[in-house]
Structure 1
C-alpha cells in the first residue's frame, strides 16, 4: 500500500482530482456492487426519497443502521416521544371508542372516527382513525382492548396530549407474529414479523418498514458478496465476514447476531479511515521533501535577535523539533495545538523564516479574510524592515510578505500572483484563494494551516499538491489549532499528522473572569454589562460586543448566506423555535444611540467590503475605536492587547470551543478582563450547561472534552467540522477510542506488509474513502 497509488498518482492527488464513476471497471466485485445506483434496485421515486438520508447507493443503504430494535414481546417507552417526530411504537391497546357511527338508515352529518388509546403500561398515546363506517368497524375488530401492535405515524399534540392521526399498524401475537392489520401494509407486516424488529431513521413519506423493504431488496442484490478485507485482517480484528454482518444488522434473529454485525460495520468505518491515513503518511514519505536546514546569519537569526522577549520553554522545544524535521528529506506533517495566546503563530513564523532562508517559500492558509489580513499585518509588524524585500533600503536578508484573498482587486491580485510565481514573495498569506488553479509557487517549501477546524485533509492536500508539479517533492506541512484536540479526535481527524502541544502561556497574560448573565431573570445585569463597558473605556481600555448574526433580515441569496458562513457569521446552535438572535446591525444602532452614546463604536462583520473590514480593524487596533460590535470574524487571530471586556449576546447560540476562542481575544495585554455571556437558556438545559462549563474554567483541553461529549466530531475528511455533519456514521470518537486505536495499528501493519500492498480490496477501501471525501469537498467548493 505504500508509495504511489494503483492509478500512478499520490493519494492526495487522487483524492482531490480523481473522482471516478462508481461503476468503473477497475473496481473489485464488492465495490462495484455496493456502488450500484440505488434506483436500479428500489426504483427512481424511492431512491430520490432516500437521498434525504444521504443514501444514494446500495452500499449507503446497507450501511444505514437501524436506530433501535425490539422484539415482539417488548413495549416501547412512550415517554421518549417528541412532537412532529416520525415514530414506530409497540404498545398495548387500552381503550377503543367509535364516534359518529350512524344507526341503520340514519346519517349523523359528522365524519366517523375511531379513537384508540394505547399504553406502554406507564404512559398513554391516542390514535385517531377517520373513515367510512364499514372501515371503522373493520379496524375495531383488530384493535381490541389488550391487543399489542406496532403503530407508526407522526406525533402531533391535540388537546395537550400526544396523538398519531390515522397511523399505519399491524397487530402482533404473543410470539411476535403478525395476526392482524397486515392488509393495510405488506411491508409493515413483513418487518413486524421479524424476530427483532429494526426501526430505521425516517424521512418524508418513507416510513421504517418501507426502508426495511428496500433494505431487503438491497441485500438480495448483493447475495454472495465477496469480502473486501483479507482473511488475516478479519481474524486480527475478530470480526465476521461482511455478508453475515449486513444480514445481522438488518435481519437479525438474535441480539448477539445483531451486535456482531454492528461490530463489523463499526470496525470497517474505523479501519477504512485509518488505512487511508496510513496510506497518506506512507505516500508522503515515499515522495520525499526538499531539506530546508537552518542557515546561520540569515533572516531567522536576524528576527530572533530583535525579539523583545524570551521564548517560552515550550516554544523553544517545539521550534527545535520543527527545525529538525524541516532539515530532513521526509515531509514534515505535524499538528501544533495550544491554548489561545500560547504563541503558536510565533513558532510557525520562525519555521517559515527558516524555509525562506533555505531558498523556499512558505504559505499560511487562514479561514477568513479578516484573519488572513490580521496575520499579514502581524507578520509584517513583527518583522519590521525584514518584511520589505524588493524595496529600496530594505534590510539585509529581508523578504516580501504577500496577501492573497478572493476579494483583492484585479490589479492587486495580478501583482500578488506574479510575486508569488517569481519567488519574490517568500511569505504568502491567504484564504481559500490560495487553492485556486491560477496560484503558482516558485518553490513552496512549507504550508502552514491556521485554525485547522475550519479546513480538512482535502484542502491541505490541494495546497500541498502545488509543490508536486516542479520537483515531485512534497512541501512540509504544519497545521495549527487553538481548539485543543483530545487524543481520540486527533487519531481520527488528524490521523496523518504527528502532534505537538504548547501547554504554557507566555508571561504577562492576565486573568479573565467569565460570568453567565440570565437576561430574563437578571435584566438589571444587562444594563450593568453596558455600564461595565463604559467603565473599562473610561479606564483607557476597549471592548468587544459579539453577536450571532449580521442582520435581522435573512441574506438575499444563497450565495450571500454562503459568504456569511465562510466568514463565520452564523452561530451553529440556533434552535428552530427560538426567537431571532440579536444582529450586529441592530445592536450597533441601539448601543450607539443608547447605553454607549458618546463612545466611539464601530461594527464589523463578514458582509462588509474587504477594504472596509481592514480599516475598521486598523482603527480598533490603533485605539481609535472604543467598542467593536462584531460577529465571530474576531474569533481567532485578532490581537488587540488593550481590549479587556467582551459581551457575547445570545451566547447559547455558540459552541464551547467558539466561546473559548472568543474569550481569548481579551486579557492579552496584562490587564485583567471580564467576559459576560448573555443568554435566555434555562438552567439544566444543554445550552446552559455549555455556558456554565465555559464560565467554570479557562482550561481549553477540559472544555474540548465537554464539547466533544455534547456534539458529534464533525466532518473528518472535509471542511465542515462544526459537529452538525459528520463523515463518521457509526463511530463516536470518545466511546470508540480503543477501536480506532486498534484499527490504526492494524492499518499500519497492512501498509508495511508487501503481501498486502496490492490487495485489491484494501486498495479500494482507501479509494472509496478518498473518492467520497473529494466529492463532498468539490460539492462545497
Structure 2
C-alpha cells in the first residue's frame, strides 16, 4: 500500500496542511522550505547581532518548565552555555522539551536575537537538531543547510520535516516519476526528481539545493510551453472556412475612412488577411497602445468575413464596453450600416448589439435573426455564449480584452460555428512585453500595432501629491471648470463605490474613514469652482439603462463631469473629453492609469490628466505615478510595470486566473522560457499527446489546473 498523509498526520493536521494547499504526498514533497539555515555558520553567544536571525550551538545547562501566571500555557526556560557565555532561551507551550533537552546535551538553536530585561535571548526559537534523539551534531551536520518551512499551524517544524524525510524513503515509486525527459536533464545537468526532492528537504550542500531550485524552474517552463505548443498544434488541426473575398463592403469602408491607415495597421491587416484566407483556423493576438487603431483593424477583418458570406462576432467583457464598440462600429461604417437608402441590400452591413440586460422579446428576435443569417456582425457580452444564441455561418470571432475571458468561454462561442470552427482574433488594449507574450500568450500568433495615427495622444500628465501640495486641488477644480466652459468634458475616476474604514494594520483598530464615490461627487458639487456644473455618476452597480443614459448625456454635453469607477477603463470613446482626474491614484496599477488616461484627447485635441494622491512625493507609490506622468509610451510603461510589480500579478488572477507557478520568473528566467519552447516543440512534434511522458502531462495539469480558467469580471 502506498504511503498517505493519513498515516503521518492527524485529521486536525491534515486540515492545517490543506490550508497550505497540501492534500497529497506529492503536494507535501513540493512544499519546499522558505529558507535554509547553515548550522556551521554559528555565532558566539557574546557576539549575537541584535535584531538579526542567528544560529548558535551550545551545551544545555538546565531546563525549567513553569506555568504562566497571566495566561494559560507554560514556559520552558533553557539555559545554555557555549564555553564562554550563557544565555536563557524561552519556549512557550513545549513541555516535551523537559525530556528532550537534558543537561549536558549539545544543541543548535536558531531565532531572532532580541533583548529582554537587559539580557539577550532568541525570539520564536527553533531547535534545529536533526532528530529529537540526536545528542551531537557531526561535522557534516554542522555544514549542511537546515530547511525552515513556511509555518503550518499546529505542526512543529521538526515533526513536519521528519514526516517528509520518512515519506521520501517509503513513498510509492510513482511519486518520483519524472516530468522532465532524461535527455533534457542530462543536457542541462539537472538532478532527477527523487534527488531534487532530497536536496530540498535534506540537503547535502547549498550547491545541490541551488541545482534543485533550477530544476523547478525548468519543470514549470517546460510545462507551460508544452501546453501552449500542444494547444497551437491542436488549433492547426481545426478546419475553418477560408475568408478570401475582399469585396464591396471592405473596399467601400477603406475608401470612406477620413484618415489614412498607418503602415502598422496595413501590415497587421495583411497578417490577419493571410490567416483568415486559410483552411486552418486563425488564432492571433492583436495588441497595441491606447489609440493605435485596433478597432479599425478588427472591423476590416470582420468586413472581409461578411464579404466572404460569413458572420462575425465581437465579444466584450462588459456591457459598457460592448455598447461602446457597437457605437464605434456604427460611426466607422456610417452610410454602410443596414437600412441606408444609398445602398442595395448586398452592400449594407447589418450590425447588432446583444447584452444580457436586453428585454426578453428583443433578445429572442435578435437570436432568431442571428440564427437565420439576417445579421452580419454582432457585438455582445457573455450573452453571445448562451445556449439560446446560435449562428447561421459564424466565420470570425473578435475577443476584446482577452485576459478577462477564459479558454472555455472562447471555446463555447467557437462551438457555435458548426462543423468548421471560426477564425479567432484576440485583442488586448494593453501593450504586452515580449516576456509575457512568450508565456501568457504563447499559444497565439502575435501582431503588434507599434505606430500611432497622426494627431493623437496630445496629453499632458501631472502627478500631484495633495499631501505635500494641498492647494493644487483647487487649481485642478478650476481647470475642470474652464474645460466645461468651452464645452469639453471631464472624467473623474475614483477607486471604490462605497465608503470604507481605515484600519491599523497591526491592531485592526479603525483609525479613520474613506468616503465613497457619492461623497466625492458631493464634494465636487459643493466646491466654489464647480457648483454650477452638471456632475453625474457612472459605476457597475447601475442598471444598463442608467449607464447608457449617463454615457449618452456625457457624450452629448448634457453632463460636464462624469465621476466614475474603472468601468470607463477601456474602449470608451468620448471625443469631447479632454480632462482626466484620478483620485487616490496610488490605488491603481500603472497599466490601469495609462488606460484611463487614454480616454481623453481621443480626437487629437490637447488634453490633461491629473494623478492625485495623498501620498508624499518621497513615497514609493508616488514614483509609479511619476513614471506614468513621464511618458505616453504604453510599451515602455508595460515593461516598467512588469519590472516594478513583478510577474506574480501578471500571471495571477488578473491575467491568468490563478496559475500555480511558484519558481519560474518570466523576467529573470526569459532565456529558460525561450529554450523550453524549443524543447517543447521537439517533444510535441513527435509525441503530440505526451503518451511517452505521462508524468509531464500530470505536472502540466498541476501547474495549469482546469479550474484556473478565466471568468468574465463583473462590470
TM-score over 0.5 for the pair:
yes
Alignment correspondent of 2:522: 589
Residue of 567, 571, 578 corresponding to 1:644: 578
Q: What's the CA shift for 1:528?
A: 1.8
Using the alignment, how far apart are the partners of 1:776 and 1:611 within structure 2? 33
Q: 1:368 and 1:75, CA in 2 relative to 1: closer, same or farther beyond 3 A? A: farther
Q: What's the CA shift for 1:200?
A: 2.4
Task: Structure 1 unaligned segments of length 5 or more: list them.
Answer: 1-31, 82-87, 119-124, 183-191, 555-574
Q: 1:287 and 1:108, CA in 2 relative to 1: closer, same or farther beyond 3 A? A: closer
Using the alignment, how far apart are the partners of 1:430 and 1:328 within structure 2? 26
1:562-581 map, 5 Å = none
1:108-507 map, 5 Å = 148-151=108-111, 167=124, 169-170=126-127, 195-206=144-155, 208-216=157-165, 218-219=167-168, 220-223=170-173, 225-297=176-248, 299-388=249-338, 396-467=346-417, 470-471=418-419, 473-507=420-454
What's the CA shift string for 1:414-456, capped at 9, x where partnerless?
2232222223222122223333333322222112111223234
Q: 1:261 and 1:139, CA in 2 relative to 1: closer, same or farther beyond 3 A? A: closer
Q: What's the CA shift for 1:631?
A: 0.3
Q: Secondary structure at the match of 2:709?
A: helix
1:85-104 map, 5 Å = 90=55
Alignment correspondent of 1:765: 696
600-609 or 377-386, which moves further after superposition?
377-386
Alignment correspondent of 1:48: 15
Q: What's the CA shift for 1:315?
A: 0.9
Task: State the number of aligned residues.
Answer: 687
Q: 1:396 and 1:268, CA in 2 relative to 1: closer, same or farther beyond 3 A? A: same
Q: 1:217 and 1:135, CA in 2 relative to 1: closer, same or farther beyond 3 A? A: closer
Using the alignment, how far apart are the partners of 1:140 and 1:402 within structure 2? 79
Residue of 683, 687, 695 corresponding to 1:750: 683
Q: 1:307 and 1:390, CA in 2 relative to 1: closer, same or farther beyond 3 A? A: closer
Using the alignment, how far apart are the partners of 1:728 and 1:266 within structure 2? 9
Using the alignment, how far apart are the partners of 1:109 and 1:274 within structure 2? 58
Checking the alignment, whether the CA contact within 8 Å between 1:169 and 1:181 is kept in structure 2 is no
Q: What's the CA shift for 1:620?
A: 0.9
Q: Secondary structure at the match of 1:286?
A: coil
Alignment correspondent of 1:526: 473
Checking the alignment, whether the CA contact within 8 Å between 2:500 and 2:513 is kept in structure 1 is no
Using the alignment, how far apart are the partners of 1:157 and 1:440 within structure 2? 73
Q: Secondary structure at the match of 2:595?
A: helix
Alignment correspondent of 2:664: 731
Alignment correspondent of 1:65: 32
Q: Secondary structure at the match of 1:287?
A: coil
Using the alignment, how far apart are the partners of 1:481 and 1:394 within structure 2? 35
Using the alignment, how far apart are the partners of 2:549 and 2:171 within structure 1? 62
Checking the alignment, whether the CA contact within 8 Å between 1:712 and 1:724 is kept in structure 2 is no
Using the alignment, how far apart are the partners of 1:303 and 1:64 within structure 2? 58
Task: Kindly indicate whether residue 596 of structure 2 is the aligned counterpart of residue 662 of structure 1.
Answer: yes
What's the CA shift string for 1:547-576, capped at 9, x where partnerless?
11111159xxxxxxxxxxxxxxxxxxxx99
Using the alignment, how far apart are the partners of 1:419 and 1:80 within structure 2? 72
What's the CA shift string for 1:710-769, capped at 9, x where partnerless?
234358888x3358954322111011110010111111111212xx34542535634653
What's the CA shift string for 1:168-210, capped at 9, x where partnerless?
63266xxx8878999xxxxxxxxx9993222223354455545
Q: Secondary structure at the match of 2:23?
A: coil
Checking the alignment, whether the CA contact within 8 Å between 1:714 and 1:726 is kept in structure 2 is no
Using the alignment, how far apart are the partners of 2:325 and 2:357 within structure 1? 16
Alignment correspondent of 2:708: 776
Q: 1:510 and 1:270, CA in 2 relative to 1: closer, same or farther beyond 3 A? A: closer
Q: What's the CA shift for 1:212?
A: 3.2
Using the alignment, how far apart are the partners of 2:88 and 2:310 within structure 1? 72
Checking the alignment, whether the CA contact within 8 Å between 1:62 and 1:246 is kept in structure 2 is yes
Using the alignment, how far apart are the partners of 2:244 and 2:383 within structure 1? 29
Using the alignment, how far apart are the partners of 1:776 and 1:327 within structure 2? 33
TM-score by length of 2: 0.84
Using the alignment, how far apart are the partners of 1:65 and 1:414 within structure 2? 55
Q: What's the CA shift for 1:137?
A: 9.6
Alignment correspondent of 2:493: 546
Using the alignment, how far apart are the partners of 2:135 and 2:575 within structure 1? 71
Using the alignment, how far apart are the partners of 1:163 and 1:611 within structure 2? 66
TM-score by length of 1: 0.78
Q: Secondary structure at the match of 2:377?
A: strand
What's the CA shift string for 1:279-304, capped at 9, x where partnerless?
1111111122211112332x222222
What's the CA shift string for 1:286-329, capped at 9, x where partnerless?
122211112332x2222222211111111111112211111111
Checking the alignment, whether the CA contact within 8 Å between 2:305 and 2:395 is kept in structure 1 is yes
Using the alignment, how far apart are the partners of 2:108 and 2:540 within structure 1? 57
410-419 or 208-217, which moves further after superposition?
208-217
Checking the alignment, whether the CA contact within 8 Å between 2:322 and 2:381 is kept in structure 1 is yes
Checking the alignment, whether the CA contact within 8 Å between 1:486 and 1:705 is kept in structure 2 is yes
Q: What's the CA shift for 1:466?
A: 3.2
Q: 1:757 and 1:307, CA in 2 relative to 1: closer, same or farther beyond 3 A? A: closer
Using the alignment, how far apart are the partners of 2:50 and 2:535 within structure 1? 50
Q: 1:544 and 1:109, CA in 2 relative to 1: closer, same or farther beyond 3 A? A: closer
